[in-house]
Structure 1
C-alpha cells in the first residue's frame, strides 16, 4: 500500500478514504493521531493491526464538536459541559457513558464508557466535520514506541500500512492530552497532560483526583496508556533524577543523553539531544529525543533528565517513567 501525504487542500481526498474504511493519520496540537471511522468496526480493527496494539486497549473517539459527541453518549453531564466550554477544542479527553450500540466494542474495549476529544487543529476539525462522523485517534505510531510529533515520524512507523497522512507540521504541545474520567463519582485524571488536575478542579469547583495506578474494569483499562509499556525506543532508557548524577555516567559512542541545555553544557558527549531550556520545552521535546536515539543504530543506552517540580512535570514524568519502565539511574 502506498502511503500518501496530504496537504490542507487534499482533505476531501482523505475524507473519501476514511469513508471507505481506510486509515489516515491526522495532526493535533498534542501528537499525530491514527484515524479510522469510529463506527466502522473493521476499520477500527485495522488500527490495532497497523499499530501492533493490544485489542483490549480502548481508543479515543475524536469529534469535531460537542454536538457530534452528543450522538454517542447517554448524556452530557454539567461537569462535562463546563470542561468543554473551557477547554475544547484543546488537549483534554473526557470519559463518559456511551449510548448502547453506537460504538463498536473495538472502540470501547467492551466497556460502557468511551473517551472523547476535540483537538485544536483546523485541518483535523475540517476533516471530521466533512466526514460527518467521529474518528478514533490513538497516536499514529507503532505500539510501545514514542508518540509521533511530526508527519515524518508517522511515515517512519506506518508507511505501507496506512493510506495517508495529513501533514500540518510539528505539533505544538508534544505530549498526549489529559484524560479525565467523568463516569465516576469524583472526577479523576487517568492520564496527565498539559491541562492539570488543578486547572480542571478550578473550572469544576470541586475536588479532582489523580489516578496512581491502572484503573481497569474486568482487566480492561478505561483509558489509553494505562496497562502496557509505552513510548519506548529500542535501547533501554534510564531516568537521571539528580543533575549531579550525570557526572557519574561513563560517556561513550553507545550512550545517548537528553537533558536541559544547562545540563548538556557540562557533559562531554557527542550523542546529546537538547530538551530545551525549561521543563515546558522538555515536555514538548521528549518524544523527539526518544525517536532521535531510536533512529541511531549505535546507541545502546539512553539517559534522560527527570524532574520533580513544576506544573508540567507530572505529564513529562508519566511518559518518561513508561519509556524507562521505571528504571532510574543512581
Structure 2
C-alpha cells in the first residue's frame, strides 16, 4: 500500500519534505495535496518520470498534464512566452486554483504537454504544495507535472486516504497528507495562447471574475483549442452510474413505486430538495445550497456513496446560475459515463 505521510504541521513537513523532494529528484512518483485536489506528481522535465504518471493512471499519453510551479518566475522555465492575458491572470490568481495554457518553451515539458506546443501551468496555494515546489526547485526540479491522483476518468481525490485506496499497486508511493482539500474541484483552465483568452474548463473561479481581471470577455472554445486536462466528455465518474436530473424529474422518480424499491440495484440520492416519503432504503445526502460548499464535498460524497455499493447515484441538477458552472461541469462529465448517456 502507498505510504501516507503526515505533513500538515510544520514539524511534520520538516520531517517529510526531504524524502519527498528526493523522490522527485530521482524521477519517482509522489502524491501531494493542492487546494483543489490531490495530485500524482513527477518532475516535469524528465520524460521517463512523466511516463510513470501516465502508466500509473492508465491515462493516454496525448492527454496533457498540468505543470505545477513554485511561482510566476518558475513559469518562465516552461513558457516560450507569457502572453499579456496570462500575466494578468497569474498576477490576480496565483497562487490559486487557476491554470493558464501558454506557448511551451522548446526542449522542455513535451511529454507533460501531451506532445503539444503549448503547456498548462499552475501555482497552487496549498501551503504544503508550495513548500514542496519551492524545495524541489532549490534541488533542481523546475516544475512538477501532476494530474489528479486517481485512475484515469475516475473520481478525483480530496483526501490522502483516497489516494492510498486508488494506488494499492504502488506500494512505494509517498502520499503527503496535508488534510482535506479546501476547494474540492480542479482548477479553471484558461487558454492564453490566443486572444481573446478561452475558458477550457470551469473551476471555483467564476467566468465573471476572470473576465473582470482580463477586462475583456472570454472567447468560445472551438476546434483550434488545445487539448486540456479533465475536458473529455466522460470523466470524474464513480463505479456507480450517475444520473443527473432536474428537480421535477428527480421528484417524479423518487415518488414512483418502481424507483422506491430496486432489488439488487440500490440507489443513492444527492439533492437539495427534501427526500419524499415513500422511498425507504435509499441513501440520501443533502446537497448544500452554496456552490463552494458543494464543490468542497462533491468528490468525497461520490466516493462515499460508491463505497456503499449503490448501483446508481441520482443527483439533482445544480441551479443555472454561472457560479455553479464548475460543479455542473464535473457532474455532467460524471453522468456522461453512464451506459446509455
Is this a same-fold pair by TM over 0.5?
Answer: yes
- Unmatched tracts of structure 1, length 5 or more: none
TM-score by length of 1: 0.90
Counterparts of 1:190 and 1:120 in 2: how far apart (Å)?
21
SS of 2:274 mapped into structure 1: helix
What SS is found at the alignment partner of 2:232? Answer: coil
How many residue pairs align between the two structures? 321
Query: Partners of 2:233 and 2:216 in 1: how far apart?
Result: 31
Residues 233-254 of structure 1: CA deviation (Å, up to 9, x unaligned): 1121100112563242313471
Residue 264 to residue 151, structure 1, CA distance change in 2 (3 Å) = farther
CA distance in 2, matches of 1:208, 1:182: 10
- In structure 2, the partner of 1:114 is 119
Deviations 1:241-297 (A, max 9, x none): 12563242313471111122x434766544122332433322222211211122122
Quick check: 1:307 aligned with 2:287? no
Which of the residues 199, 203, 215 maps onto 1:193? 203
The worse-fitting range, judged by mean Cα deviation, of 227-236 and 169-178 is 227-236
User: Within 1, Cα distance between the matches of 2:316 and 2:268?
Assistant: 12
Residue in structure 2 matched with residue 42 of structure 1 by the alignment:
48
Which ranges of structure 2 fall in alignment gaps of 5 or more residues?
A: 8-12
Q: Aligned equivalents of 1:247 and 1:285: distance in 2?
A: 26
CA root-mean-square deviation: 2.2
| 1:87-132 Cα distance to aligned partner (Å, 9 max, x none) | 11000000000110022x3211111100000001111111111111
Structure 2 counterpart of 1:32 = 38
Aligned equivalents of 1:61 and 1:265: distance in 2?
46
Find the aligned partners of 1:71 and 1:121 in 2 and give their Cα distance: 22
**Does structure 1 residue 159 correspond to structure 2 residue 168?**
yes
Task: Find the partner of 1:178 among 175, 188, 201.
Answer: 188
Cα distance in 2 for partners of 1:150, 1:245 equals 30
Check whether the contact 2:250–2:314 (CA below 8 A) recurs between aligned residues. no
Give the alignment's TM-score, normalised by structure 2: 0.88
For residue 285 of structure 1, what is the aligned residue in structure 2? Answer: 297
**Which string of whole-angstrom CA distances, capped at 9 and with x for unpartnered residues, describes residues 172-217 of structure 1?**
1111000000002210000001112211111111121243x6x567
- Give yes or no for contact 2:4–2:177 (8 Å, CA) kept in 1: no
Q: Does 1:227 align with 2:232?
A: yes
Distance change (3 Å), C-alpha of 1:82 and 1:222: same
1:86 maps to what in 2? 92
Give the equivalent residue in structure 1 for 2:245. Answer: 240
Does 2:279 correspond to 1:263? no
Task: Please name the residue that 1:319 is paired with.
Answer: 330
Contact 1:91–1:176 under 8 Å retained in 2: yes
Q: Distance in 2 between matches of 1:264 and 1:282?
A: 18
